[in-house]
Amino acid sequence: MARVMDNRPADGKANFSTSYIREQPLQVSSAQVGEIPPAFADLNQSIRDLFTKNYHIGFAKVDIKTVTANGVQIRGIGQQDIGSEAPRAFGSLEHKYVQRSYGLTLIERWSTDNMVTMEASVEDQFLAGAKATFLAGLSAQTGKRNAALKFAYKRPFIHLTTDVDLDFAGPVVRSSAVSSYNGVRIGGNVVVDTAKSAITRYNLALGMGGPRYTLHAGTTHFRDFEMGVYNRVDPNLEVGFQSNFSTTGGNTLLALGAKYDIDPTASVKAKLDTVGQLGVSYTQELRKGVKLTLSTLINGANLSGGGHRYGFGLEVDV
Q: Tens digits of per-residue pLDDT, 264-317?
A: 999 999 999 998 899 999 999 999 999 999 999 998 877 877 779 999 999 999
**Which pLDDT belongs to residue 7?**
42
Cα separation, 230 vs 77, in Å, equals: 30
The helix/strand count (H/E) of the chain reads as: 1, 21
Quote the percentage of the chain above a pLDDT of 90.
72
CA distance 123 to 104: 7
Helical H runs in the chain?
45-52
Residue 298 vs residues 56, 293, 295: alpha-carbon distances, Å: 13, 17, 10
* 8 pLDDT tier (thresholds 50, 70, 90): very low
* Those residues with Cβ within 8 angstroms of residue 157's Cβ, 6 or more apart along the chain or in another chain: 34, 35, 36, 37, 179, 180, 181
In this prediction the pTM is: 0.82
- How far apart CA 218 and CA 260 sit, in angstroms, is 27
- What is the per-residue DSSP string for 69-122? TTS-EEEEEEEEESS-SS--EEEEEEEEEEEGGGTEEEEEEEETTSEEEEEEEE
**Is 169 in a helix, a strand, or coil?**
coil
Please provide the average confidence, as pLDDT, over all residues in the chain.
88
Q: Determine how many CB atoms are found less than 10 A away from the CB of residue 137.
A: 21
| Buried-exposed string 93-116: b where 16+ CB fall within 10 A, e elsewhere | ebebebeeeebebebebebebebe
Query: CA-CA distance, 112 to 74, in Å (whole number)?
Result: 16
- Give the span between the Cα atoms of 136 and 116, in whole angstroms: 8
Tell me the pLDDT tens digit for each residue of 184-231: 999 999 999 998 999 999 999 999 988 899 999 999 999 999 999 999
Model confidence over 289-304: pLDDT tens digits?
A: 999 999 999 988 778 7
